[in-house]
Amino acid sequence: MHLVWSVIVGFLVGLLARAIMPGADHMGFVATTILGIVGSLIGGFIGGAVARPAEGALFHPPGLVLSVVGALIALFLWQRFA
């Protein structure tokens, strides 16, 4: 079930990053999902270093916000080097 949630959250984070970043991004569902998952990995790493989630917490707000920031970083790099 964790994998399904990772894909859903990754897609939503990827959509948010594409909506925030200016410019046209011709990405489909799979590319948007991969962008969001990569951004979540980057943001989750940074968010875990900033603030650890409470034991047994279902939601980690800094991790979610930094997932979008991580996706923006990944999208910026994708636009510059692809």
Amino acid at the residue 40: S
Beta strands in 1-72 (DSSP E): none
What are 20-53's pLDDT values in tens digits? 988 777 888 898 888 888 888 888 777 777 777 7
pLDDT value of position 82: 75
User: Is this prediction's pTM over 0.85?
Assistant: no
Contacts of residue 32, defined as CB under 8 A and 6 or more positions apart, other chains included, come to 11, 14, 15, 18
**Mean pLDDT confidence for 47-71:** 78
Confirm if 74 and 32 have CB atoms less than 8 A apart: no
Query: What angle is formed at CA 7 by the lines to CA 66 and CA 72, rounded to 5 degrees?
Result: 30
What are 2-15's pLDDT values in tens digits? 778 888 888 888 89
Which tokens in the block code for residue 28? 């489909």
